[in-house]
């Protein structure tokens, strides 16, 4: 698959438009009509992010269809974390549009808090509350933020703890668990918000090597449920196994965008080849 260039693809939401019509020019139409069948769940249009003089995201255009498993790869400092943090507005871009589930989060008075509930994020550091039990960690946000009755939040928390293989740890505290187990709890916590999208920012980078696979296995299991996922990772085996699509982000630009086969076997950019030659030694 060739690398996508700006300007040569129509908007995926409105394929009836002439091919020369760039996706970016369709944003008003997309925002007003929202995502339909087969539409993008996430759509970034002309997104720029600066930290002071540092231009960290450079005119990013990206559409993620519902159900896609997108892996983001790239060198440290290339903007990967900033990119996914912009999707739930943990970072606000300086310009552009971030459309999630048909809502432009950059619009005046956009319901950011509401949309954020459907975009769960799992961080490198698990960020569990140390003074709360596993079950309390998982039920806190559904009860406090979503207003769910405790019994309902507990019922689904136990289902997700089952899914990550930790139901027997419900009453333990994070410090009693290994790093891998804590990250699996963090995944169950994210799932218990019943999100439409799961964002993972290097979910295994802080783990001892022997714990990486147990967390990847949980994420792979999740991928098989059909949920939309964006995963920043350096785990190339995972990318090959679980991704539908890989993008390579370097210095704030998406410089490669395609299937895992394209990315690993036939990347079009020298920069990608150089990066792969370093990490796939």
Write out the residues near ligand ADP by the rule CB under 6 A: 51, 54, 56, 74, 76-82
250 CB-contact burial (10 Å; exposed 0-12 / middle 13-18 / buried 19+): buried
102 binds, among ligand ADP, Mg ion, none (CB under 5 to 8 A by kind): none
Asked if 87 and 70 touch (Cβ cutoff 8 Å), the reply is: no
CA neighbor of 133 nearest in space, from 80, 81, 85, 189: 189
260 binds, among Mg ion, ligand ADP, none (CB under 5 to 8 A by kind): none
Asked if 70 and 243 touch (Cβ cutoff 8 Å), the reply is: yes
Pick 81 or 192: Cβ nearer Mg ion: 81
Supply the minimum distance, in Å, between the C-beta of residue 165 and ligand ADP: 29
| Residue least distant from Mg ion (Cβ) | 81
Supply the minimum distance, in Å, between the C-beta of residue 80 and Mg ion: 5
82 binds, among ligand ADP, Mg ion, none (CB under 5 to 8 A by kind): ligand ADP
Pick 183 or 192: Cβ nearer ligand ADP: 183
30 binds, among ligand ADP, Mg ion, none (CB under 5 to 8 A by kind): none
Pairing type for strands 40-51 and 95-100 reads antiparallel
Pick 42 or 232: Cβ nearer ligand ADP: 232
43 binds, among Mg ion, ligand ADP, none (CB under 5 to 8 A by kind): none
Supply the minimum distance, in Å, between the C-beta of residue 57 and ligand ADP: 8
DSSP type of residue 94: S
76 binds, among Mg ion, ligand ADP, none (CB under 5 to 8 A by kind): ligand ADP
Pick 75 or 221: Cβ nearer ligand ADP: 75
Supply the minimum distance, in Å, between the C-beta of residue 47 and ligand ADP: 13
56 binds, among ligand ADP, Mg ion, none (CB under 5 to 8 A by kind): ligand ADP
Pick 13 or 81: Cβ nearer Mg ion: 81
C-alpha 224/C-alpha 227 separation (Å) is: 8
Pick 81 or 156: Cβ nearer Mg ion: 81
Which pairs count as long-range contacts for 215-222, CB under 8 Å and 24+ apart, including other chains?
Answer: 215/180, 215/183, 215/184, 215/187, 218/163, 218/164, 218/165, 218/184, 218/187, 219/187, 221/163, 222/163, 222/187, 222/191, 222/198
Pick 91 or 101: Cβ nearer ligand ADP: 91
Q: What is the contact surface with Mg ion in residues (CB under 5 A)?
A: 80-81
Asked if 105 and 99 touch (Cβ cutoff 8 Å), the reply is: yes
Supply the minimum distance, in Å, between the C-beta of residue 76 and ligand ADP: 4
Dihedral (CA of 131, 183, 112, 159) sign: negative
Strand segments, DSSP code E, in the chain are 40-51, 54-65, 69-73, 95-100, 103-104, 119-122, 197-201, 228-232, 245-250, 253-258
């Amino acid at each position: 698959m060739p690398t996508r260039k700006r300007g040569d693809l129509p908007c995926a939401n409105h394929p009836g438009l002439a091919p020369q019509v760039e996706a970016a020019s369709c944003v008003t139409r997309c925002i007003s009509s929202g995502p339909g069948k087969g539409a993008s769940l996430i759509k970034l249009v002309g997104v720029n992010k600066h930290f002071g003089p540092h231009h960290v995201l450079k005119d990013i255009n990206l559409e993620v269809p519902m159900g896609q498993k997108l892996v983001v790869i790239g060198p440290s400092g290339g903007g990967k974390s900033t990119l996914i943090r912009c999707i739930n507005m943990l970072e606000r871009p300086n310009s552009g549009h971030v459309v999630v589930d048909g809502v432009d989060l950059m619009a005046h008075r956009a319901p950011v808090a509401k949309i954020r509930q459907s975009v769960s994020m799992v961080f490198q550091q698990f960020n569990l509350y140390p003074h709360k039990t596993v079950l309390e960690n998982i039920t806190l946000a559904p009860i406090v933020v979503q207003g769910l009755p405790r019994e309902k939040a507990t019922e689904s928390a136990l289902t997700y703890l089952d899914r990550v293989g930790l139901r027997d740890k419900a009453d333990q505290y994070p410090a009693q668990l290994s790093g891998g187990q804590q990250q699996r709890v963090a995944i169950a916590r994210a799932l218990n918000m019943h999100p439409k999208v799961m964002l993972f920012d290097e979910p295994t980078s802080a783990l001892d090597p022997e714990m990486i696979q147990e967390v990847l296995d949980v994420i792979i299991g999740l991928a098989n449920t059909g949920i939309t996922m964006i995963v920043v990772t350096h785990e190339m085996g995972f990318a090959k196994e679980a991704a539908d699509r890989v993008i390579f982000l370097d210095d704030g630009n998406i410089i490669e965008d395609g299937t895992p086969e394209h990315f690993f076997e036939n990347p079009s950019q020298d920069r990608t080849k150089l990066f792969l030659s370093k990490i796939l030694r």
